[in-house]
């Protein structure tokens, strides 16, 4: 059976979405998630812009994602991961294969795994944003090393600094999404399944790599800020030297005028 995790936005309006869902058997709200249960499939929607679909038919998936756009804030390029899942005597997550236990609540097992999957696709969205930022600015250090200065205008440098600052802080502000969810603290019996999920998908090592990339963005930000400060200092020096030269010139004229 098929399980699909997707991130399509920064935020979802869960309550608005819940009122728009049709043919749903029941809906459960959690701290930051919504579970919509249907006869043959389940959907878990997370407030921070992720959704996990369990056994959802392709035509229903398309319709649901279209509906989801109506309740999305700050849409992004979709990021998705696809997995296979089955049932056995013991739950397991190994090599992208999800195994759920027949002896325990299917819904809560799915929710525990879905939290891990949603964090993975959210992390992938963060990675894509930071990679794009680094890619767009990678020529700046090379130019600085080659020419000793950046050819961008002061306005363009200020704009780039603003973009870097926004990207870095956006990821930092949402970093708590990658922490263990409240659901796991409230239901410790599902912690092992959640932990297996994030360990197999290397959530923590990838988060560490993301933080290193954020440090690169920070260094780019500081380098461009220093360049902007240097340009400002140079301009002030030119202005001061110009004023001194004008004063000397005027003084010479006055003295010459008096001598005549």
Distance CA 54, CA 111 (A): 10
The pLDDT of residue 109 is: 94
Q: What is the pLDDT of residue 73?
A: 94
Question: Which segments in the chain show pLDDT lower than 70?
Answer: 104, 172-173, 175, 231-232, 256-260
Backbone angles phi, psi at 30, to 5 degrees: -120, -175
Q: Which of 56, 193, 216 is nearest to 135 (CA)?
A: 216
- Bridge pairing between strands 97-101 and 72-88: parallel
pLDDT of residue 137: 77
Tell me the CA end-to-end span of the chain in Å, nearest whole number: 103
Say what the pLDDT of residue 100 is.
93
**What is the pLDDT at residue 258?**
61
Measured CA to CA in angstroms, residue 81 lies from 1, 7, 41, 245, 257 at distances of: 14, 9, 18, 67, 84
**In the prediction, which pLDDT does 259 show?**
53
**Bridge partners, 12 (sequence order):** 72
What's residue 251's pLDDT?
79
Write down the pLDDT at residue 173: 64
Which residue, chain included where needed, has tokens 């997370």? Answer: 46
Q: What SS3 state is found at 224?
A: helix
Q: What is the pLDDT of residues 127-171, one digit of tens each?
A: 888 888 888 777 777 777 777 777 777 777 777 777 777 777 777
Q: For residue 27, give every residue at least 6 positions away whose Cβ sits within 8 Å of its Cβ, in sequence order, or none.
A: 18, 21, 34, 35, 36, 37
CA dist 181 and 203 (Å) reads 14
pLDDT of residue 40: 92
| Domain covering 2-223 in this structure, CATH number | 3.30.310.10
Residue 250 neighbours by CB distance under 10 Å: 10
């Amino acid at each position: 059976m098929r399980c699909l995790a997707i991130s399509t936005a920064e935020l979802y309006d869960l309550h608005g979405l819940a009122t728009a869902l049709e043919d749903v058997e029941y809906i459960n709200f959690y701290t930051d998630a919504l579970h919509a249960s249907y006869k043959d499939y389940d959907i878990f929607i997370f407030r921070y812009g992720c959704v996990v679909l369990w056994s959802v038919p392709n035509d229903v998936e398309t319709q649901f994602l279209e509906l989801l756009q109506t309740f999305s804030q700050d849409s992004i390029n979709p990021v998705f991961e696809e997995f296979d899942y089955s049932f056995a005597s013991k739950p397991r997550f190994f090599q992208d294969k999800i195994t759920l236990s027949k002896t325990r609540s299917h819904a809560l097992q799915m929710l525990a795994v879905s939290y891990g999957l949603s964090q993975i696709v959210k992390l992938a969205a963060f990675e894509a944003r930071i990679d794009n930022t680094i890619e767009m600015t990678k020529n700046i250090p090379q130019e600085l090393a080659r020419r000793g200065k950046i050819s961008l205008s002061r306005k363009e440098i200020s704009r780039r600094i603003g973009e870097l600052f926004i990207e870095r802080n956006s990821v930092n502000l949402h970093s708590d999404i990658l922490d263990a969810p409240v659901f796991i603290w409230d239901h410790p019996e599902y912690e092992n399944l959640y932990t297996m999920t994030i360990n197999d998908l290397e959530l923590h090592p990838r988060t560490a790599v993301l933080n290193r990339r954020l440090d690169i963005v920070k260094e780019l930000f500081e380098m461009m800020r220093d360049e902007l400060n240097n340009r400002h200092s140079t301009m002030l020096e030119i202005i001061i030297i110009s004023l001194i030269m004008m004063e000397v010139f005027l003084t010479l004229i006055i003295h010459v005028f008096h001598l005549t």
